[in-house]
Chain A
């Protein structure tokens, strides 16, 4: 039976249209003799001009395939991108494809078109895909999105090499030079060494700028610290593995110890606070993509020319690099799914990925290990080679990580957004609880999240 009049779905559909209309409109690429239209929503890049590569690629592909491609760039300030995805998923209408934040792929997996065919061809050409991206994108044995280059970032250490050498006696440029070798001290670049250096820099008045609040920069670096100690909070089914977890306890204790050598206000820092600390010359080290360095290059060149990006420290269980990927998904309710998948395949190819990374000044990280040799990371300056070690390279002997891996996405997204890993440290360091009390709280919190 059909029903006339206004339905809940129609109203939601209209709402999603309004949200979409409110976003920054990018060019509509017209092609004569059109083979249909395609609408994509991409993350609006922080880096000025960072969207240009996608616009150019869309124009080129649209001309070739005679498809009208229109792109909207939606930023994550105020969670606009996440809200747009939520509205479109709820109303089952909107763009053909959309950029998704790490955990949203799992949240909307049932409404995303499988893209195994695209991934199969890309992996055949470029080799294995990043395992974290696979963990986030593959659900029920099917790929539900194509790991994106635009917006995907690593968060290694961006170090003021002059301050680090002067106050902590560590020459980071010698340790991690701008070539594929490990220098002296690289094997000893551990969280313990890091904490000692943090203390020295703190005493010298240039503390490490590590946020400990609820924003992603904080959650990501603490996630890499925990991974380095093998401190998993849950297993792959989501069952808490906290009780009697000595590795977790050690990681929390190190986090608490480290937090004593950070600025007193890091508990309230957002994702921009660490950038400001570096750019303002107040900090000897931050964990960040090259965006902080890029702003320093513009606003404080005397700071930028003394920055050097190096891998994160290692823990007893290995070296992990905080990795925050974007994924582009094709909605199952989209009108032009075949063209959407073709377009995604096109923008993920090496030439396209390099164009995207170049436009972003090296910020964007492609999902394939075989694509970590782009020239932009070698040539960017000042100083030359400053971001050579930004992408994960084999000589780093590291793995990428995302906080709360290997929890199932539904649970992990809640733990990530609610920053359980930084809070458990804060409860001890700031709240005065014992580590055991804080771990008890963590277990109860996760048990509660799993219900319903």
Chain B
């Protein structure tokens, strides 16, 4: 080794710099830092695609029509005094609650039926039953619209063929509401079915065997084993579906355009009509935000219940 090889050895760094470097290394190696860095992309996506638009919508809802002055909560006050909007609240709640309940019931029934189909045939049925959920709703609703068409309804053609009078599917308010719910249930029930089917498959068979030895009937098995074991998945699917159904837009837009007389209008379709089509973006934003606090409260309690049950089961 060359006599001057010691020159290649780096000079010792000052103690302060060494301490800083090791602190940085420790910080970088901390679990919380790594976790933060790994979740940063998701945080950015949520921030950009959820938080920012939501914050901007809240800001917009507090402006006047021309977006030139801050008017606080006046848009909400104006909406609450509006008869059409009052009926929109009622209709949205009726639509969402009825549709979610029906979807849950139909989905549960389908899942139960499917659970008892032999494994070989089950795949085919599962695939077929998922079709409504896979087709884009705007497209499938167009198909339904043709079936409900005021003048040339194919459903009415069949009804007439067996001797019954035509049903004014989209022209009469209650029939129009029922039509919207039918399409929503048709579209959304497969989601419930697949979730419930997964939950049913996770219930241990031994529980049913033990219950059968104890003389439990099928109904008792359903009530005391199946439903309690599925409680969490039922809560989460209902919550998820409630949020999505409250925000539904395309079915109403394609099928009825909110008519007749705004009696099938829901929050999203009315927000579009008021905000974009009528050029009152702040009030449209207020309409779209209206259910946010209520849904947030419902979500809080449902998720708290799920957490509590999960801890109890653990």
Q: Of A90, A214, A277, which one neighbours B258 at CB under 8 angstroms?
A: A214
The answer to the question of A276 belonging to the interface, with a C-beta cut-off of 8 Å to chain B, is yes
A267 touching B261, Cβ below 8 Å: yes
The residue on A at minimum CB distance from B270 is: A418
A426 touching B151, Cβ below 8 Å: no
Specify which of A276, A282, A417, A444 lies most central, judged by the most chain B CB atoms within 10 Å of its CB: A417
- Once A215-B257, A265-B171 are accepted as A-B contacts, the answer to whether A82 and B276 lie under 8 Å apart by CB is yes
Chain B positions 236-286 with a Cβ under 8 Å from a chain A Cβ = 256-262, 273-274, 276-283
Q: Of A103, A215, A273, A423, which one neighbours B151 at CB under 8 angstroms?
A: A273
Which residues of the partner chain B approach A299 to less than 8 Å between Cβ atoms?
none
Q: How many interface residues does chain A have, given as a range?
A: 35 or more
Q: Count the A-B residue pairs with Cβ separation under 8 angstroms: how many?
A: 99
Q: Of B74, B84, B262, which one neighbours A452 at CB under 8 angstroms?
A: B74
Which residues of the partner chain A approach B262 to less than 8 Å between Cβ atoms?
214, 418, 423
The answer to the question of B170 belonging to the interface, with a C-beta cut-off of 8 Å to chain A, is yes
The answer to the question of B83 belonging to the interface, with a C-beta cut-off of 8 Å to chain A, is yes
- Once A82-B276, A413-B279, A448-B78 are accepted as A-B contacts, the answer to whether A213 and B168 lie under 8 Å apart by CB is no
The answer to the question of B65 belonging to the interface, with a C-beta cut-off of 8 Å to chain A, is yes
**Would you give the 0/1 interface string for B172-186, flagging 1 where the beta carbon is closer than 8 Å to chain A?**
100010000000000
The residue on A at minimum CB distance from B85 is: A448
Q: Of B257, B276, B281, which one neighbours A270 at CB under 8 angstroms?
A: B257
Which residues of the partner chain B approach A52 to less than 8 Å between Cβ atoms?
none
Interface size of B by CB at 8 A reads 36
A430 touching B260, Cβ below 8 Å: yes
Which residues of the partner chain B approach A273 to less than 8 Å between Cβ atoms?
150-151
**Would you give the 0/1 interface string for B56-83, flagging 1 where the beta carbon is closer than 8 Å to chain A?**
1000000011000001001100100111
**Minimum distance in angstroms from B256 CB to a CB of chain A:** 7
Q: Of B56, B256, B273, which one neighbours A417 at CB under 8 angstroms?
A: B273
Which residues of the partner chain B approach A280 to less than 8 Å between Cβ atoms?
151-152
The answer to the question of A342 belonging to the interface, with a C-beta cut-off of 8 Å to chain B, is no
B83 touching A418, Cβ below 8 Å: no
A452 touching B259, Cβ below 8 Å: no
- Once A268-B171, A273-B151 are accepted as A-B contacts, the answer to whether A444 and B83 lie under 8 Å apart by CB is yes
The prevalent SS among residues of A at the interface is helix
The residue on A at minimum CB distance from B59 is: A8
Which residues of the partner chain B approach A213 to less than 8 Å between Cβ atoms?
257, 259-260
Which residues of the partner chain B approach A445 to less than 8 Å between Cβ atoms?
82-84
Which residues of the partner chain B approach A410 to less than 8 Å between Cβ atoms?
65, 279
The answer to the question of A86 belonging to the interface, with a C-beta cut-off of 8 Å to chain B, is yes
**Would you give the 0/1 interface string for A74-90, flagging 1 where the beta carbon is closer than 8 Å to chain B?**
00000100110010001
A interface residues with partner B (beta carbon < 8 Å) = 8, 79, 82-83, 86, 90, 103-104, 107, 213-215, 263-270, 273, 276-277, 280, 282, 410, 413-414, 417-418, 423, 426-427, 430-431, 441, 444-445, 448, 451-452
B interface residues with partner A (beta carbon < 8 Å) = 56, 64-65, 71, 74-75, 78, 81-84, 150-152, 168, 170-172, 176, 256-262, 273-274, 276-283
Return 12 A-B CB contacts under 8 Å, by A number. Answer: A214-B258, A265-B168, A266-B150, A268-B256, A276-B151, A413-B279, A418-B278, A423-B261, A426-B260, A430-B260, A430-B261, A448-B82
